[in-house]
Amino acid sequence: MLQQIVLQDGFSFPALGFGTCAIGDWQQDDDYVVQTILKAIKAGYRHIDTASLYGNERSVGKAIKLSGIPREEFFVVTKVWDCDQGFESTLASIDASLARLELDYIDLFLVHWPVPSKTRETWAAMEQSVDAGKLRYLGLSNFRQSDIEDLLSFARIKPVCNQIELHPYLTQQPLCDYCNEKGIVVSCWSPLGTGTWSGVELSQKPLADAAIIAIAERYGVTPAQVILKWNLQQGRMAIPKGESDKNIIANLGLSGFELTLDDINAINQLNRNHRYGGNPDTVYESNMKMAVPA
């Protein structure tokens, strides 16, 4: 059985999710995407992460339906984009995501990036949607400590997670410590630091780091498996993407080894505070130029 995240109400779901951002290409939404997600489901993934901005919610919904597996066995995550934040527009975004996914409810709904001037009304709309049975759990993505502190000052329903860029070159330990203190599970996007959108050569990414490779060789596993295990052993979620059968299956193969505390500390020490994706301090203007596909 895959390692589980257990929430404060006792509900559990797989700690390892399947990331769907830019399968094939950015905002691609076609049979290739459906078949890739189906491969992941066949391999054993039940935690599927998407977002309205990814443009592929329809493919996620089709794959779930075509899998023949009962909907309740899946943990589906999607997000409200920056341009859609605000009370009425968030309600509309939730309904649009449900329609594209062809689902009656979403397991976990996230605020994709912090827009502090709209957080209160966005969250109120999300809470109302929990009350209406459209959403089960609420969470955050890319929120800084100051953003979380603000939200906790008025939230009736507390966030269960904060999905952030986190990999061996960007460990974000102070933010992780704060989330842990508040009972907010940390979820890691781009956990391998390998997003092709970053324009960085693989040789410059954590998978090629000599320290990671040495640990992988010692256990007879892949560098990706070492990094994913490093996250899961510290109680975090990880959301790797994969397109090949080899990578999809390998990312699930984490049960045959355990990292030592020395291994974990060695990986922690690789931190460079290096972001491949956007910085929540500066990304707002560029995000507002990006639109959710119809």
Catalytic site residue from 32, 45, 54, 284: 54
| pLDDT, tens digit (0-9, with 9 covering 90-100), for 244-286 | 999 999 999 999 999 999 999 999 999 999 999 999 999 999 9
- What pLDDT was estimated at residue 196? 60
Least confident segment among 198-202, 255-259, 285-289? 198-202
284 flagged as catalytic: no
Q: What are the extents of the domains in the chain?
A: 4-287
Q: What pLDDT is recorded for position 46? A: 98
In which band, very low, low, confident or very high, does the pLDDT at 3 lie, cut at 50, 70 and 90?
A: very high
Burial status of residue 71 (CB atoms within 10 A of its CB: 0-12, 13-18, 19 or more): middle
pLDDT tens profile 118-156? 999 999 999 999 999 999 999 999 999 999 999 999 999
Q: What is the pLDDT of residues 157-175, one digit of tens each?
A: 999 999 999 999 999 999 9
Task: Give per-residue pLDDT as tens, 50-91.
Answer: 999 999 999 999 999 999 999 999 999 999 999 999 999 999
- Sequence letter at residue 189: W
Q: Quick one: residue 95, left, alpha or beta (phi over 0 = left, psi -120 to 50 = alpha)?
A: alpha
Q: Specify the pLDDT at position 132.
A: 98
Architecture per CATH, domain 4-287, reads as: Alpha-Beta Barrel (3.20)
Average pLDDT of the chain, as a whole number: 96
**Mean of pLDDT values over 27-36:** 98
pTM for this model (two decimals) = 0.96
Among positive and negative, which fits the CA dihedral 147, 148, 149, 153?
positive
pLDDT at 150: 98
> How many whole angstroms separate alpha carbon 70 and alpha carbon 66?
10
Q: Are 291 and 83 in contact (CB under 8 A)?
A: yes
pLDDT given for residue 1 in this prediction: 63
| Residue 194 pLDDT > 90 | no
How many distinct helices (H) and strands (E) make up the chain?
Answer: 11, 10
Tokens encoding 46: 């039940």
pLDDT-based confidence at residue 198 (cuts at 50, 70, 90): low
Burial 217-250 (b: 16+ CB within 10 A, else e): eeeebbbbbbbbbbbbbbebbbbbbbeeeebbeb
% pLDDT > 90, the chain: 94
Q: Using alpha carbons only, what angle is made at residue 275 by residues 282 and 6, rounded to the nearest 5 degrees?
A: 100
Cα(128)–Cα(281) distance, rounded to whole angstroms? Answer: 29
CA dist 107 and 98 (Å) reads 11
Q: How many residues does the chain have?
A: 294
